[in-house]
């Protein structure tokens, strides 16, 4: 029987404590699940609603004491507490709740406010004290910041005895971040997120790790790391000849929290399923979801439209393959190929900076680490700058397999949802309609990136209606096969 905690019935401080209780008890074999967002739909075991402090009282013998911290968005104490609870059986709680734990028989053994210094210094002191008791096969990087403060995900770090840190882009914080990244095993995931995507991913890639955006993710201490085999149900049709071939590719599918929370109900994939139009589309999708939340992955694959899936950037997790340590890249691409096989994926999506592709032999060697696998047909390459279209459609080759860069990006410059205008869409339609039909040239093939945070399916439907009949929409793998056949 699963003990169910209802998120909305808890105060903010109790919600923080619930994450710690969940992570520690799930580690002990006591099943705890939190009913929040749509996560209850993923639970197929019998459950019984319970009260937080009653659950603690029933299992009080499993804790070896209590520690307190100050819960607020300007104090790193919650991440320090997560490392303490990950490394020990000490239940950490917000200061406002510590007396309730004392009343249940848990003696207060430490106060994390006693550790003084900067954010990095305080975290480093805890990490150095407990790192010999923490596992190095993953890291949780959970933001503690006024405008971006979440309680979720720490159950996952506590259950698996992983470090939990937050670092900004200050020199002191980045120095601590690099110290922790270097300590990790290599080719391991960093769960959570950060303030500066580019700098964060650059650091992670440099030390041979990869990111899995998941700072809103819940219940992963319950899910664990499963083993799920997915099978795509993509319908196939005959491709018309002598057309300009376009693959529509939706970005940001590396985002675990999006896939498992609102992907199927939002104005992107969810609205796609409700749209009267049904052109071919390719969606980026993290193959790691099959292990992290199998039922969410299965739900996505059960879509009824002409949908095809490729990996999110850059395979098993978000990294930059051109700056990844060469000694780790073979391992990273091996993990990617294995995860792709489990998720029935055969096209990889990559994200890098255009200027790093200038050395042709260097680039070919890097791409060859992916191309050597039979189940990887080729790739779609998002190249910065200019909203992933820095490559302007250039095709890179490795082992006879094409990696096609994005030529156009349907991405509103405001970077904000709800800002798209008819004028903006009409201008985009005009640009695409100017493309030529030429299957014998790279100019005859186009990848259009669709940015899901500023473009919804209603916008995309409008664009498709405005395009000439000379275009043939194909899946990403079909575009790769056409390029290989006609240009290879």
User: Same domain, yes or no, for 297 and 200?
Assistant: no
Handedness of CA 264, 268, 272, 278 (dihedral sign): negative
Nearest to 328 by CA among 204, 457, 167: 204
The helix-helix angle for 77-87 and 119-130 (nearest 10°) equals: 0
Nearest to 317 by CA among 458, 163, 201, 144: 201
User: Residue 287 pLDDT > 90, yes or no?
Assistant: yes
Residue 68 lies in a domain: yes
Give the list of residues 6+ apart from residue 156 with CB closer than 8 angstroms, or none: 23, 140, 162, 191, 217, 220, 221
Mean pLDDT, to the nearest integer, of 53-79? Answer: 97
Nearest to 283 by CA among 482, 476, 480: 476
What CA–CA distances, in Å, run from 453 to 152, 409, 415, 457?
A: 22, 13, 7, 11
User: For residue 349, is the peptide bond before it cis, meaning its omega torsion is within 30 degrees of 0?
Assistant: no
Residue 228 lies in a domain: no
User: Residue 227 pLDDT > 90, yes or no?
Assistant: no
Confidence category of residue 416, pLDDT binned at 50, 70, 90: very high
Give the list of residues 6+ apart from residue 127 with CB closer than 8 angstroms, or none: 83, 134, 163, 165, 180
Residue 229 lies in a domain: no
What CA–CA distances, in Å, run from 300 to 136, 272, 279, 488?
A: 31, 12, 18, 33
Angstrom distance (rounded) from CA 332 to CA 311: 14
Residue 413 lies in a domain: yes
User: Same domain, yes or no, for 311 and 380?
Assistant: yes
The CATH number linked to 417 is 3.20.20.490
Give the model's pLDDT for residue 285: 98
User: Residue 267 pLDDT > 80, yes or no?
Assistant: no
Angstrom distance (rounded) from CA 305 to CA 447: 20
Average pLDDT, the chain: 97
Confidence category of residue 443, pLDDT binned at 50, 70, 90: very high
Q: How many CB atoms lie within 10 A of CB 361?
A: 7
Structure tokens at 318: 């978000």
Residue 145 lies in a domain: yes
Q: Model confidence over 96-151: pLDDT tens digits?
A: 999 999 999 999 999 999 999 999 999 999 999 999 999 999 999 999 999 889 99
User: Same domain, yes or no, for 313 and 452?
Assistant: yes
User: Same domain, yes or no, for 211 and 298?
Assistant: no
What CA–CA distances, in Å, run from 8 to 14, 36, 98?
A: 10, 7, 21
First to last CA, the chain: 57
User: Same domain, yes or no, for 350 and 306?
Assistant: yes
User: Same domain, yes or no, for 330 and 383?
Assistant: yes
Residue 393 lies in a domain: yes
Q: Model confidence over 273-286: pLDDT tens digits?
A: 999 999 999 999 99
Residue 232 lies in a domain: no
User: Same domain, yes or no, for 193 and 312?
Assistant: no
Number of folded domains that form the chain:
2
Angstrom distance (rounded) from CA 380 to CA 372: 16
Beta strand 65-69 with 108-111 is parallel
357 DSSP assignment = G
Which of 188, 221, 254 is at the close of a domain? 221
Give the model's pLDDT for residue 109: 98
Strand stretches in 135-216, DSSP E: 135-141, 162-165, 189-192, 210-213
User: Residue 70 pLDDT > 80, yes or no?
Assistant: yes
User: Residue 226 pLDDT > 90, yes or no?
Assistant: no
Report if pTM > 0.95. yes
Nearest to 349 by CA among 341, 360, 340, 359: 340
Mean pLDDT, to the nearest integer, of 196-219? Answer: 96
User: Same domain, yes or no, for 176 and 284?
Assistant: no
Residue 75 lies in a domain: yes
Confidence category of residue 329, pLDDT binned at 50, 70, 90: very high
Angstrom distance (rounded) from CA 474 to CA 480: 10
User: Same domain, yes or no, for 284 and 387?
Assistant: yes
Domain that holds residue 75: 2-221
User: Same domain, yes or no, for 130 and 188?
Assistant: yes
User: Same domain, yes or no, for 248 and 211?
Assistant: no
Please report, rounded to a whole number, the percentage of residues in the chain having pLDDT higher than 70: 100
Give the residue carrying structure tokens 């809103």: 216
User: Same domain, yes or no, for 200 and 255?
Assistant: no
- Contact call for residues 468 and 433 (beta carbons, < 8 A): yes
Q: Model confidence over 343-388: pLDDT tens digits?
A: 999 999 999 999 999 999 999 999 999 999 999 999 999 999 999 9
């Amino acid at each position: 029987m699963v003990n169910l905690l209802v998120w909305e019935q808890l105060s903010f401080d109790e919600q923080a404590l619930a994450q710690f209780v969940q992570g520690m008890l799930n580690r002990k074999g006591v099943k705890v699940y939190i009913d929040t967002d749509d996560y209850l739909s993923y639970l197929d075991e019998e459950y019984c609603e319970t009260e937080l402090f009653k659950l603690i009282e029933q299992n009080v013998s499993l804790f070896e004491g209590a520690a307190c911290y100050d819960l607020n968005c300007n104090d790193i104490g919650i991440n320090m507490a997560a490392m303490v609870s990950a490394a020990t059986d000490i239940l950490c709680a917000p200061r406002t709740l510590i007396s309730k734990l004392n009343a249940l028989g848990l003696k207060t053994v430490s106060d994390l406010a006693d550790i003084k210094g900067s954010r990095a210094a305080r975290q480093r002191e805890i990490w150095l004290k407990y790192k010999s008791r923490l596992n190095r096969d993953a890291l949780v990087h959970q933001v503690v910041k006024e405008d971006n403060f979440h309680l979720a995900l720490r159950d996952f770090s506590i259950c698996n005895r992983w470090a939990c840190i937050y670092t900004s882009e200050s020199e002191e914080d980045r120095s601590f971040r690099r110290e922790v990244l270097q300590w990790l095993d290599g080719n391991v995931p960093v769960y959570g997120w950060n303030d500066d995507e580019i700098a964060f991913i650059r650091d992670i890639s440099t030390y041979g790790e990869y990111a899995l955006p998941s700072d809103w993710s819940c219940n992963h201490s319950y899910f664990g790391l499963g083993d799920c085999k997915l099978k795509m149900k993509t319908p196939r049709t005959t491709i018309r000849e002598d057309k300009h071939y376009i693959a529509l590719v939706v970005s940001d599918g590396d985002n675990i929290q999006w896939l498992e929370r609102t992907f199927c109900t939002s104005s992107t994939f969810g609205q796609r399923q409700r749209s009267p139009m049904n052109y071919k589309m390719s969606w980026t999708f993290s193959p790691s979801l099959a292990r992290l939340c199998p039922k969410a992955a299965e739900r996505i694959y059960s879509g009824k439209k002409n949908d095809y899936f490729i990996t999110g950037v850059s395979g098993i997790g978000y990294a930059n393959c051109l700056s990844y340590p060469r000694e780790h890249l073979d391992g990273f691409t091996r993990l990617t190929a294995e995860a792709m096989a489990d998720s029935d994926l055969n096209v990889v999506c990559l994200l890098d900076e255009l200027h790093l592709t200038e050395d042709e032999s260097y680039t070919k060697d890097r791409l060859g680490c992916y191309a050597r696998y039979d189940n990887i047909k080729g790739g779609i390459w998002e190249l910065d700058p200019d909203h992933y279209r820095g490559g302007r459609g250039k095709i890179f080759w490795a082992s006879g397999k094409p990696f096609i860069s994005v030529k156009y990006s349907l991405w509103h410059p405001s970077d904000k949802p709800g800002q798209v205008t008819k004028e903006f869409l009409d201008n985009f339609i005009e640009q695409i309609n100017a493309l030529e039909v030429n299957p014998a040239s790279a100019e005859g093939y186009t990848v259009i990136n669709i940015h899901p945070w500023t473009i919804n399916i209603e916008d995309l439907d409008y664009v498709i209606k405005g395009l000439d009949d000379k275009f043939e929409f194909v899946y990403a793998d079909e575009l790769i096969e056409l390029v290989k056949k006609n240009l290879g």
